[in-house]
Each structure stands twice: as C-alpha cells, then as structure tokens.
Chain A
Amino acid sequence: MTKLDELLSRVRLDRRSLLAGAAATVAAGALAEPRRARAATTLNWMGWQGYDSPLKQGTFLADNGIDLATTYIAGNEEIITKLQAGGSVDLATIYFGHVPIMVGADLIEPIDESLVPDLGKIFPRFLDVDSIRHDGKLYAVPFTWGTLPMVYDPAAIPEAPTSWKDCLKDEYKGKVALTDDISGLISTWSQIVTGTKTPTRLTKAELKETVDFLIKIKKEHARTFSPNYGEATDLFARGEVVISAIGWDAQVGFADKKGKKLTYVLPAEGAMAYMDTIVIPKNAASRDLAYKALAQAVSPKAQAVLAAELTQAVVNSEAVALVDDANRAIYQYGNLDKLLERAKFNPFWPAEDDGTHATYDQVQDEYQRFLQA
C-alpha cells in the first residue's frame, strides 16, 4: 500500500469523524442524483462509506440485477433530512439512536421479518435494544456495533487501568489521546462528573459541568485534540500518547495493521456502546430488492467482509467463525453479555425540549464551546 492509499483509506475508515472530504460529501450528497440504471434496476443506498462493501461481496449484485447507487454520508442526520425532503432511498444504514426519530416522523416501515432469513442468527443482545422497536414491531436490523472503551498502550502501561480517571494521573499529563466524538465524550464523562445513570438524559447544569470538565482534560491532560480515531491511533503508534480519555475498539485493529500493539479496557464507570442498523424507508421504490440487500448485508459472508475490510464487529453469530483471530479478540463475541454489561446502548439525546433535560441541539452547542476552548 502506498502512503497515499493508506491516507485515503484512513480517511474512508473513520466513521464518526469530521473527514477531510466531509463538506464535499455533503455537497455531492445533496446536489448529485444517484446515477441512472442501465439495464439493471437501481438500488439507492445511503450510509457511511465502506458500509456498502458487504453488498458487493460475492456475486450478489450481479445475480439480482442490481445497479447499486451509493450516497455516502458525513452525518446520520443527512439521511433524515434527505427522507424528509422526499428523496428516493431504498435502503440506509443509520445509528440506532436515530431510529425513534425516524419512526416518529413516519419515515421508515416496520421490518418484514420473514424476508430476513438470518434474523434468528443475530445475537439477541442487539435485537433487544429498545430504540429499534416501536409498538412491538422491529424497525431496524442490527448491522454492526462496537464500544468506546479506554484504549491504551500496554507497552507503556503494563497494568491495565481500571478507571477513566486513571488517564488524569500526573504521570500521563500531555500523553492522553482525546478524539472529536460528541456522544462518546459527553456520555462517558457525564457519568464520572455528575454520577448520572442515564448519560444521555442530562440537566443543563449537568451538561455544563461535564463540558467544563472536558475542557479541563483538553487543556491540561490531552496531547492534542484529534479530529478522528485514525489520527489518535497515529499518536499511539508514534508514542506521543499512551492512554485515552475516549477510545474506539476498532483502533486496536487499526493499530495492529500498522504493527503497533494496543489494547483496551472497559473501565469500572462503564462505557458507551454503539450500533448501526439498516432501515427501509417508507417510500422505497425497489422494496423487494431492498429486502434482498438487507438479507445479504447481515448474512455471514457479507458480515465477514465488514470485519476483514473495516475491522468492524459482526452481529451474525454464524459470521464469528469467518472472522480472523484479531477481530475475535477485540470484540469478544463469546463474552458479549459481560462486555455489554459495562458498555451500554444509551437512548439518543432528546430531540425536543422536555423542560428538564438538555436537547441534542443544546448538547451540540455545549460541545462546540468545548471545541473552541
């Protein structure tokens, strides 16, 4: 791999980042119509770049006469905006926290479970997450998941840290990785700063307290503020940081590819888990093909592509046998119950003001104060 390829692939891999091409992607996504089908039927897919690769596994597209039109996003909200504007999308991958918003806005349809043969093989832990169900019906199918643990360099820290507060020790001053991740940072640190049980239901005072504390970490402890986890991984690889105030389990896989041994721990205070899901919009034009694609995306072979190409976690229990040891070591599929006891799927931030809790908009405002500090 040349340096440039590596750069480009890094930019592509980081899902929750402000990417170099973010604005361009926004513009392209908003202005460019998906390309026209020739002989085959067009399937309009929308999601993070890379999440389309399971669909390209094997001969699936050719067998079904699908001309895949992809629209890459720079933020989950783009999918909601596009659907509200009446844009044509047959299939989308979206953060599970946004599913209730889409259900509430009547943008997606309940999943016809009979059309997803692999549904029964998906780890029940993921299907049990509240947000993807409404009135007893399933609205989104789990696609991939992960945790935001504390990533550290075992060469510099032989004994595993046990608490998030360990990164604030004097010996690590200036050697702490801090990455641009609004949900990860606020929901992880609000538990420590305010003792809240549901970190996405914060009062405005709690939110402010959390952000003030994060500003302190940024100014006094962090080596720098990394725009994405790929950059933070680089800092580990170059020995500039040894511990993190927020991490992503996939970093262990990134570092491994660069020949750097990293590991992670889920501290006692708990961590955030995330899950990306597949939804089918109400106005999907190619509904049959969309279901076929959905079934493909969660099939064992397709899921294995996700693990191999993106070092992401699989949701299909039969896919576990197809992924490599490194992937199994990171995601501990045999030990999911224990893992997800510490790493929680939090509901999404309130969209509307309920009088007590900070809305997502207010969280973003406070977060921007943190960014500017």
Chain B
Amino acid sequence: MTGWPRMLRRGLALFPAFGILTGLFFMPIALLLAVSFWSVRSYRLVPGFALDAYARTFSFYGPLFISTMLIAAAVALLCVVVGFVFAYGARFRSGRYGDLFILATMITLFGGYLVKIYSWKAILSANGILNSTLLWLGLVDTPVSWFIFNRGAVIVALAHFLLPFAILPIYSALRNVPDITLEAARDLGASPWTTLVRVVLPQCKAGLVAAFAICFLSAAGDYVTPMFLGGGSGIMLGQFIVSEFSTRFNWPVGAAMSFSLMGVSALVISAIWLAVVGRRG
C-alpha cells in the first residue's frame, strides 16, 4: 500500500525527461554503436559483429588520428593560455567591468562559424589583410603563401572560434577565487608570479581542465575548418568521417571512426583531469 505506488508515481513523473534524453541522445548513439560493428555490401547495411571497421580506423587512418589529436591538443592549449590571460584580466584587472568584457566575448559567438572561417581566409590569403599590410610596410616583396592552407592556419582559426568557450569556464572558476587569498599571499611575501602559480592557478584548475576539454573535443571533431583553411597538410579525421558517411556510404567505418575519436578523446581528457585536478576534485 505504501512504498512502491509512490515510487511508481515518481517514476512516471520522471518519465518525460528520461524519455527525451533516451530518445534524443542515447538511442541514436546506441544505434550508431551497433552500426559500427556491421558491414556494407552493395549499398546495403548488413548487421553482424565485425571489428573490420575499427581495424580500418586504426590502421588506415592511424597517422591521421594521431595528427588530429595533436592539432586538437594544440588548439585546446592555445585556448586555455589565451583564455586564462583574458579571464584573469577581466576578473582581477577590470574592476566592475569584468562581467561586461565576458559578455562582449559571448557576443562574438553570434557571428557564427562559417563567417569566422571566411574572415580568416580574408586575413591570411595571398591578397589578404595580413599580406597587404606586410607589403605596404615593405617587410616582404611578394605575398607570404604559408599563412594559409596548412596546419597552422587550422589551429589559429579553431582557437579563435573556440576561445569564448574557454574563457567562460575559466572566468567562472576565477570568480570563485577570493580576492583575499591573493592579498594573503602577497602579505606573506609572494611575488605576483608566485601568487599566480601557487595560489590562483591551483584554485581554478578544474576550470582550466574544463576549458581544455571543451576546446579539445570541439577541435578534434571539426571538419569544416580544415576543409577550408587546411589545404593539403592541415587535414583532420572529421573530414574523413564525413566522407565515409556520405560519399563512400560506409556507415560502419564512419561510426567506428566517430566512436574511436570519442573514446580516445575521453581517455585524453580523463588522463589530464587525473593528472591536474586529481581524484579529490
């Protein structure tokens, strides 16, 4: 009479939320996971259990996998460093305008993604702003061609796009660092650098790792930026996931690549979390 009817009612009340989560999130992912073990014969998916798709992911795409991880790590690191400098300035050097600065960075997100990529093309290309400036200043005689269509251009553009996503968690972590801990450190004789390294950074490391994780995951899965700015050398795994899914119609390999990318990214981020934040959080 007592216990379980109430539990049932509670369960029913939870059902819509649970249902939406299951339907919109877990179901497609579970389906994709199943497909990664299937195979394709003459444009038809054949259910089964084969690891061929994973074998292809790590052999044929192995080197690209590693270079994609390295690009993502470089982007994330760049975002965390620049994002920290910005967030630190907004938190400790801007008085009451700090929140306003953060709001301003959020507004840049409205510009959208493709527009940013095209802006970088306009900046870095042969007749772009950067080359025009260098030519005008007389620093170069002919336009510099290596600004664009390589790995560096991909890293710069991705870092620029993802920077606001790094600033937010770092800023919110810095907001939780009490001003008096900084004053206390100074009072005890710490230089600004020592205060930064031993008092500020350790207090916001969860925010730093969160920023790294967001940027790393977004960069690792990106395929549009390398397509437009990467040229031959700046290619990334995401482009090939797209082509496996669409032009080759090899869903198993596409799915296996997606899951491998997710899995390896999760491993990288967990390792960094454990190393930086530790188990105590």
* Direct interface between A and B, CB < 8 A: yes
CA distance A75 to B248 in the complex (A): 8
Q: Is A20 an interface residue (CB 8 A)?
A: yes
Q: How many residues of B contact A (CB 8 A)?
A: 35
Neighbour of B242 across the interface among A22, A238, A364, CB < 8 A: A22
Pair count A-B, CB < 8 A: 95
Contacts of A176-191 to chain B: CB distance below 8 A: 182
Neighbour of B232 across the interface among A3, A224, A234, CB < 8 A: A224
Q: Is B49 an interface residue (CB 8 A)?
A: no
Q: Is A212 an interface residue (CB 8 A)?
A: no
CA distance A231 to B230 in the complex (A): 12
Is A224's CB under 8 angstroms from B126's CB?
no
One digit per residue, 1 when the CB lies within 8 angstroms of any chain B CB and 0 when it does not, for chain A 12-24 equals: 0000001010110
Chain B residues, Cβ within 8 Å of A84: 43-44
CA distance A227 to B148 in the complex (A): 14
Chain A residues, Cβ within 8 Å of B206: none
Q: How far is the CB of A110 from chain B (nearest CB, A)?
A: 21
Chain B residues, Cβ within 8 Å of A195: none
Q: Is B48 an interface residue (CB 8 A)?
A: no
Q: How far is the CB of B272 from chain A (nearest CB, A)?
A: 27
Q: Is A223 an interface residue (CB 8 A)?
A: yes
Q: Is B245 an interface residue (CB 8 A)?
A: yes
Using known A-B contacts A224-B231, A371-B235, determine if residue A26 contacts B42 with beta carbons closer than 8 Å.
Answer: no
Is A77's CB under 8 angstroms from B232's CB?
no
Neighbour of A23 across the interface among B125, B126, B242, CB < 8 A: B242
Chain B residues, Cβ within 8 Å of A364: 247-248
Chain A residues, Cβ within 8 Å of B149: 223-225
Q: Is B60 an interface residue (CB 8 A)?
A: yes
Chain B residues, Cβ within 8 Å of A351: 42
Q: Is A7 an interface residue (CB 8 A)?
A: yes
Please give me the residue from chain A that is nearest to B246 by CB atom.
Answer: A74
CA distance A317 to B169 in the complex (A): 63
CA distance A146 to B242 in the complex (A): 26
Between A and B, 23 residue pairs with Cβ closer than 8 Å are: A3-B118, A7-B115, A18-B243, A20-B224, A22-B245, A22-B246, A23-B223, A26-B246, A74-B246, A74-B247, A218-B232, A219-B232, A223-B145, A224-B231, A224-B232, A225-B231, A238-B126, A368-B240, A368-B243, A371-B239, A371-B243, A372-B61, A372-B63
Using a CB–CB cutoff of 8 Å, the interface residues on chain B facing chain A are 42-44, 60-61, 63-64, 112, 114-115, 118, 121, 125-127, 145, 148-149, 223-224, 227-228, 231-232, 235, 239-243, 245-249
When A and B form their complex, which 9 residue pairs have the shortest distance between CB atoms, in order from nearest? A224-B231, A224-B149, A74-B246, A227-B227, A77-B249, A75-B247, A80-B43, A225-B232, A240-B126
**Contacts A222-B232, A238-B126, A368-B243 known; 15 new A-B pairs at CB < 8 A:** A11-B114, A18-B227, A18-B246, A22-B242, A22-B245, A22-B246, A23-B241, A74-B246, A75-B247, A225-B149, A240-B126, A365-B60, A368-B240, A371-B235, A371-B243
